[in-house]
Structure 1
Amino acid sequence: MYREHPAPRELADVVDAFWTRSVDAPQDGRSYRVLPDGCIDVIVHLVGSPRVEVVGAMTRALVVPDGPSEIVAVRFRPGAARVCLAGPADAITDARVPAGELGLPAAPLLDVLATLPDRAARVRHLASVLTQHRRHPLDPLVERAARALAATRPPSVAELADSLGVARQSLARRVRQAVGVGPKELARVLRLQRAVQALRAAPRDHAALACELGYHDQAHFIHEMQALGGLTPGAYARALATAQDV
């Protein structure tokens, strides 16, 4: 149903992964939950209502109705989508925008992808289109900030600004325009992703996990996961145990 594909060498610096998702039959009213990850995706829907859309960085979970679908998509690394898209990332936060409005050739892309025989060929073509539409260089300051904020014990915004040699306001503006959220929000989202990966890997004591991830305590962990992901850690673990798509 869902599969990730590695980025080619020419896009490895900006792409986290290409991904495909295929559902043949109706899913009886089921839905699946997409959690914030600090990334921007370009998603090509090939069935139903064919379209190419850009999904901005998210500050809260998105619950998507399931159903027949054939998708090929790319997930950019935090702060990297601007190399291929027109406009600042914070203009599309928590939004879905037609890709043509952000400078991508949506109609030609759909026309070609619809003729290709398999997912691997579609991923290759989407990668080639993105390679041809690299507009801007990566912002090295945003790259360094994103790496620092992904650490298990990330620095405060003030500490990060000092280490990068910029004013706190300048750092916040550049991260927000490149990523879609400011550095403090990005740190929260990246910590949520580490929590989710830990919960997926094996059953965990939530109090111990909260300490390991740098939350103040278990209550803080519960509050953050519910605020960003829409589920408590316990509810998320139960959903995993019953094979629900979360």
Structure 2
Amino acid sequence: MYEERPALLDGAVLWTRTAAPATEGTRPVLPDGCMDLIWAEGHLLVAGPDTHAYPPAETAARYAGIRFAPGDAPGFLGVPAHELRDRRIALGALWGEAEARRLGERITEAPDPAAALDALVRRRAAGAPAPDPLLRAVVARLAAGRAVAETADAVGLGARQLHRRSLDAFGYGPKTLARVLRLQRALALVLAGVPQAEAALRAGCADQAHLVRETRALAGTTPGAYAASVAASANSETPDPSGSRTTA
């Protein structure tokens, strides 16, 4: 079972998950522009920003995670996002094995591992650079469907500057981030019952065929198949939502 709630860290989300046996219907994690710090029964892992669907592989029975707002995790982790793109790695590879083990044990001993993750991140964030309001403006504009060139002009950056800063903050350039956020908008509309052709136009796609191509490229499925898998998960005793970034 999967649950999520707002974190105390600005813009972040806490989630917990009890793993179920893998089945053919298990849904992959879809790109969302975010990065996660994950506790997997004593082990701490980092899920980098994805450019394609990631098939979950269970390594523990219980998980807790904190999902950072797009662009916020690199300052906390101390590594540019593009170095973690499409990767799941142990936190020890970034912070050292001894420190990661100590933190993992502390979170394991807590009655609520997700809340303990939130507290850890807030303590560490106090000594890290604050999220860049310019990059948050970039995310907000792209999430609203603004064009990349228009967004660059609005925040006062040239195309190359925006691309370079996006690689460090989001893991990929602004055009890829815009595609990922557009896909999330479109699928949310489809799940809300909006016809695919209308959802495509409202999300910013040229037409329904464009939406289908983008969904295949980024999610490895079609909008209809994705909606059907969500409905199947909702009717299951152990739903496997696409937001939980379990890792091999």
Class of the TM-score when normalised by the shorter of the 2 chains: 0.7 to 0.9
Letter matched to residue 5 of structure 1: R
Among residues 230, 234, 248, which one is paired with 1:240 in the alignment?
Answer: 230
Q: Which has the higher contact order (CA 8 A, sep 6+)?
A: 2
CA distance in 2, matches of 1:69, 1:238: 26
Q: In the alignment, does 2:143 pair up with 1:146?
A: no
Q: 1:113 to 1:221 in 2, by over 3 A?
A: same
CA distance in 1, matches of 2:58, 2:100: 23
- 5+ long unaligned stretches in structure 1: none
CA distance in 1, matches of 2:22, 2:59: 5
Match of 2:236 in 1: none
User: Structure 1 residue 29: deviation in Å?
Assistant: 6.2
User: Structure 1 residue 7: deviation in Å?
Assistant: 1.1
- Aligned residue for 2:114, secondary structure, equals helix
CA distance in 1, matches of 2:130, 2:81: 15
Letter matched to residue 87 of structure 1: V
Match of 1:175 in 2: 166
TM-score of the pair, normalised by structure 2: 0.86
CA distance in 1, matches of 2:27, 2:224: 17
- The CA RMSD over aligned residues, in Å, is 2.0
- Aligned residue for 1:242, secondary structure, equals helix
TM-score of the pair, normalised by structure 1: 0.87
Q: Percent identity between the aligned chains? A: 38
User: Structure 1 residue 136: deviation in Å?
Assistant: 1.6
Do the aligned partners of 2:36 and 2:66 also contact (CA within 8 Å) in 1?
Answer: yes
Match of 1:218 in 2: 208
Among residues 69, 81, 86, which one is paired with 1:94 in the alignment?
Answer: 86
Count of paired positions = 232
Q: 1:127 to 1:68 in 2, by over 3 A?
A: closer
User: Structure 1 residue 133: deviation in Å?
Assistant: 1.3
User: Structure 1 residue 146: deviation in Å?
Assistant: 0.7
Do the aligned partners of 2:25 and 2:229 also contact (CA within 8 Å) in 1?
Answer: no
- 5+ long unaligned stretches in structure 2: 234-238, 243-248
User: Structure 1 residue 65: deviation in Å?
Assistant: 3.3
Q: In the alignment, does 2:102 pair up with 1:111?
A: no
1:28-43 pair list within 5 angstroms? 31-43=26-38
